[in-house]
Amino acid sequence: MARLPLYLRALTALAERGVATVSSDELAETAGVNSAKLRKDLSYLGSYGTRGVGYEVEFLQHQISREIGLTQDWPVLIVGIGNLGHALSNYGGFASRGFRIAALVDADPQRTGEEVAGLKVRHSDDLDDVVKEFNIAIAVIATPAHAAQAVCDRLVDLGITSILNFAPAVVQVPEGVDLRKVDLSTELQILAYHEQRKNGAALALTAEQAVELAKAVGG
């Protein structure tokens, strides 16, 4: 389930505040979901709650971590060390959650050898070696859009089956490969869409619609 990380985050926040047990209602509100949905999600993992009391925060935290697979170490490869790749490399949120940036790769020879976040950037010609050397299972694409598909194809060829794409491009993968995308401008576009709606429909009238409207009112 895609909501488990959300619950995990809410639980972590509660644990930091020293909360020992939490009811589904409270946890649901913290995570911003419906409490019945939360209970159903959790019951799918097993019966980890106590009726009349709630859920033990630390225990549940551990159960979800195990379910997601965070109890093991995941070496992550980042391809494309531009602005975004830099930011991702230095982003502290990964390490604390079971992910370790293990290797960086870029196609620009000028970047090769440069040190970023304590790691030497390798050239993308060495992709094959890097993947084997660090036993990479998860790769992040932070290249320009035009390079994304080619990079992705190479990663798939090297046997990587989990890819996170930040490049603003539609990337195709074969069956059996998990591709997720994080698309910065898409998110902004969705916000803009709603924002436009809020600002009244009048502004959004097209010329055609205006003509229609004028006809309709007999203007």
> What are the residues binding DNA (CB under 7 A)?
22-25, 33-37, 39-40, 42-43, 47-55
User: Cα dist. 25→53, 120, 124, 164 in Å?
Assistant: 11, 47, 49, 33
Taking the complex as a whole, how short is the minimal distance between the CB of residue 167 and a copy of itself, in angstroms? 9
State in Å, rounded, how far the first CA of the chain is from the last one.
55
Within 10 Å of residue 99's Cβ, how many Cβ atoms? Answer: 17
Which one of DNA, a copy of itself, none is in contact with 30 (Cβ closer than 5 to 8 A by kind)? Answer: a copy of itself
| Comparison of 49 and 80: residue with beta carbon closer to DNA | 49
- Alpha carbons within 13 angstroms on the beta-carbon side of residue 105 total 23
Q: What are phi and psi of 170, to 5 degrees?
A: -80, 120
Which one of a copy of itself, DNA, none is in contact with 215 (Cβ closer than 5 to 8 A by kind)? Answer: none
Taking the complex as a whole, how short is the minimal distance between the CB of residue 16 and a copy of itself, in angstroms? 10
Taking the complex as a whole, how short is the minimal distance between the CB of residue 91 and a copy of itself, in angstroms? 6
Which one of DNA, a copy of itself, none is in contact with 59 (Cβ closer than 5 to 8 A by kind)? Answer: none
Taking the complex as a whole, how short is the minimal distance between the CB of residue 77 and a copy of itself, in angstroms? 12
Give the burial string for 117-148 (b: 16+ CB within 10 Å, else e).
beeebbebeebeebbeeeebebbbbbbeeebb
**Angle in degrees, 0-180, between the axes of helices 24-31 and 35-45, rounded to the nearest 10:** 110
| Comparison of 42 and 105: residue with beta carbon closer to DNA | 42
| Comparison of 204 and 214: residue with beta carbon closer to a copy of itself | 204
Task: State whether residue 22 is helix, strand or coil.
Answer: strand
Taking the complex as a whole, how short is the minimal distance between the CB of residue 63 and a copy of itself, in angstroms? 9
Which one of DNA, a copy of itself, none is in contact with 24 (Cβ closer than 5 to 8 A by kind)? Answer: DNA
Taking the complex as a whole, how short is the minimal distance between the CB of residue 168 and a copy of itself, in angstroms? 5
| Comparison of 23 and 162: residue with beta carbon closer to DNA | 23
Comparing CA positions, the residue from 35, 11, 166, 1 lying closest to residue 97 is 11
Which one of a copy of itself, DNA, none is in contact with 33 (Cβ closer than 5 to 8 A by kind)? Answer: DNA
E strand or H helix at 181: strand 178-181
Which one of DNA, a copy of itself, none is in contact with 10 (Cβ closer than 5 to 8 A by kind)? Answer: a copy of itself
- Alpha carbons within 13 angstroms on the beta-carbon side of residue 126 total 17
